[in-house]
Amino acid sequence: MKISFIGAAQEVTGSCFLVESGDLRFLVDCGMFQGGPDGRKAADRNRRAWPFDPRSIDFVLLTHAHIDHSGLLPRLAALGFRGPIYATRASADLLPVMLLDSAHIQEMAWTRAQRRAAGRRPRGAAAELLYTVAQAEACLAQVQGVACDTDLQPHPALRCRFRDAGHILGSAILELWLDEGGRTRKLVFSGDLGQPGRPVVRDPTPIADADVLVVESTYGNRLHRPLKETVDELVEVIEETLRRRQGNIVIPAFALGRTQELLVLLAQLRRQGRLPPLQVFVDSPMAGKVSAITARHPEALDDETRAMLTPGAPGPDGLSLRFTQTVDESVALNRIRAGAVIVAASGMCDAGRIQHHLRHNLGRSECAIVIIGFQAEGTLGRRLVDGARRVRLFGEDIVVRARIHTIGGLSAHADRDALLGWLRGFRHPPQHTFVVHGEAATACGFADTIAQQLGWTVQAPAAGQQVEL
């Protein structure tokens, strides 16, 4: 058996792992690269050919629908992959929203690049289009939803099971039993693990054993603030900005997962009387669609959460919630000078409507930008977190006068202790443990932590590395 770590190896995005055994070849995830250290251009990496022929892949097992795990599926199919894409039923429901939106962004970016290239002298060619909306739609026909905690046999030599990872709706841990020459070995891919005790989704499922384990490490080098302290800080920021400074609050948030959790939290705090009356605008058509899909999965939600996440449903008294749809509605938000909580994607500030709201609010000292999710190296969000005093948006230099608040306790990723707690659920050390989905220093450091605290054999593979087991 061979495992190739194609992406999310000593980095956070681009999750993709190739497993080969005899004539069996399959992928776990096929994600898009985003951001990137040392000036690397994620767009170029996404266009680069994989170190395999897409036509040779039998199937894909998808841990969840976030774009850094699913975003290159349409390109894989466009280049010849014809097998099934297996995902949880919730992820299968979410993928049309995520992939069609991604394809629309690709087409828009390519059109802009073509215009720029046409205006250059001498004439230069724009980069290749990653994939089209039509190709994304065609790819969706290959998606098959699978019930959690039930066995799937995608190949005579492989049995697999999707288990709840507690990260976002539909996120899964993969348990795989692979037969090789009469011997069965168990592989476990953690996917992205959630922090226990969070609203909306359940805690990660404990796993008792594995021969080979691939575990994420996004926050493997730090601890999140306790949820109570995090909530107290959020309340203080909202009070200070809306009541005393008379400004706006802009929150970059992933349309899938983080937005829904934030809305539930704001509703709970308003019901408890801890927040002033709020005007909350979710400026993301995708987030509205995802919220509606989330509400259709009652197996993961309580009644209050399901009602709160249904667009158009009444919220608690004193909380006005509006999901914007059109460009005109989005532009109108930029005329609001005070009293608005604007939630928009992308979560790392690198594209989408959030950039317009940053352009209109970053330069105002009475406003606040609240970062509630992971910001990859090379992204605008990471530059703001790191204290940039000036950023460039739409060709304009913007002086950062707004206060930047990083509220890490709302992360959908398990922190170091939560990851270790999940690992301690294994009854015996895996024969091989590979740490992935963390920036280089984080992944290597967390591998050292596992070796020191648990005594396991562990390594953090580099991008492109292949191991033979």
Sign of the C-alpha dihedral, residues 18, 92, 298, 260?
positive
Tokens, residue 264: 């539930």
Residues 216, 221: Cα–Cα separation, whole Å = 12
pLDDT of residue 116: 75
Residues 273, 269: Cα–Cα separation, whole Å = 6
Q: What global pTM score does this model have? A: 0.88
Mean of the pLDDT values across residues 264-293?
Answer: 90
Q: Are strands 183-189 and 212-216 parallel, antiparallel or unpaired?
A: parallel
Find the range with the poorest average confidence among 142-151, 168-177, 374-383, 453-462.
374-383
Q: CB of 204 within 8 A of CB of 195?
A: no
Is pLDDT of 309 > 80? no
Residues 319, 281: Cα–Cα separation, whole Å = 10
Residue that has been written with the tokens 């809306």 in this structure? 242
Q: What distances in angstroms separate CA 261 from CA 132, 344, 361, 371, 411, one per listed residue?
A: 31, 14, 24, 14, 10
Find the range with the poorest average confidence among 273-277, 298-302, 377-381, 458-462.
298-302
pLDDT of residue 411: 81
Is pLDDT of 428 > 90? yes
Mean of the pLDDT values across residues 218-235?
Answer: 92
pLDDT of residue 141: 98
Mean of the pLDDT values across residues 437-456?
Answer: 97
Under the banding of pLDDT at 50, 70 and 90, the label for residue 38 is very low
Mean of the pLDDT values across residues 372-400?
Answer: 91
pLDDT of residue 352: 83
Mean of the pLDDT values across residues 89-107?
Answer: 93
pLDDT of residue 304: 59
Can you tell me whether residue 270 is helix, strand or coil?
helix
The share of the chain scoring above pLDDT 70, in percent, equals 93
Q: CB of 205 within 8 A of CB of 422?
A: no
Q: CB of 154 within 8 A of CB of 59?
A: yes
Helix pair 89-118, 285-295: axis angle to 10 deg: 170
Sign of the C-alpha dihedral, residues 424, 429, 435, 441?
positive
pLDDT of residue 383: 93
Closest CA to 32 of 51, 12, 5: 12
CA 58 vs. chain centroid, Å, equals: 25
Q: CB of 346 within 8 A of CB of 352?
A: yes
Q: CB of 1 within 8 A of CB of 180?
A: yes
For 65, phi then psi, to 5°, come to -95, 0
pLDDT tens digits for range 124-156: 555 689 999 999 999 999 999 999 999 999 999
Residues 404, 386: Cα–Cα separation, whole Å = 10
Q: 352 or 148, which is more confident?
A: 148
Can you tell me whether residue 393 is helix, strand or coil?
strand
Q: CB of 171 within 8 A of CB of 63?
A: yes
Q: CB of 319 within 8 A of CB of 304?
A: no
Q: CB of 141 within 8 A of CB of 76?
A: no
Residues 350, 381: Cα–Cα separation, whole Å = 7
The share of the chain scoring above pLDDT 90, in percent, equals 70
Under the banding of pLDDT at 50, 70 and 90, the label for residue 39 is very low
pLDDT of residue 11: 93
pLDDT of residue 306: 63
Average pLDDT, the chain: 91
Closest CA to 375 of 347, 402, 353: 347
Domains and CATH numbers, the chain: 2-222+412-468 (3.60.15.10), 227-410 (3.40.50.10890)
Is pLDDT of 405 > 90? yes
For the sheet containing 278-283, what is the strand order? 319-323, 278-283, 340-344, 249-252, 368-371, 403-406
Number of H-type helices and E-type strands within the chain = 14, 22
Residue that has been written with the tokens 């015996």 in this structure? 428
pLDDT of residue 301: 62
Find the range with the poorest average confidence among 278-292, 297-311, 373-387.
297-311
Within 8 A by CB and 6+ apart from 73, the residues are: 30, 60, 62, 85, 95, 99, 139
Within 8 A by CB and 6+ apart from 7, the residues are: 13, 14, 15, 16, 29, 31, 33, 463
Mean of the pLDDT values across residues 207-213?
Answer: 98
Cα-trace Rg, the chain: 22
Tokens, residue 148: 């959690």
Is pLDDT of 115 > 90? no
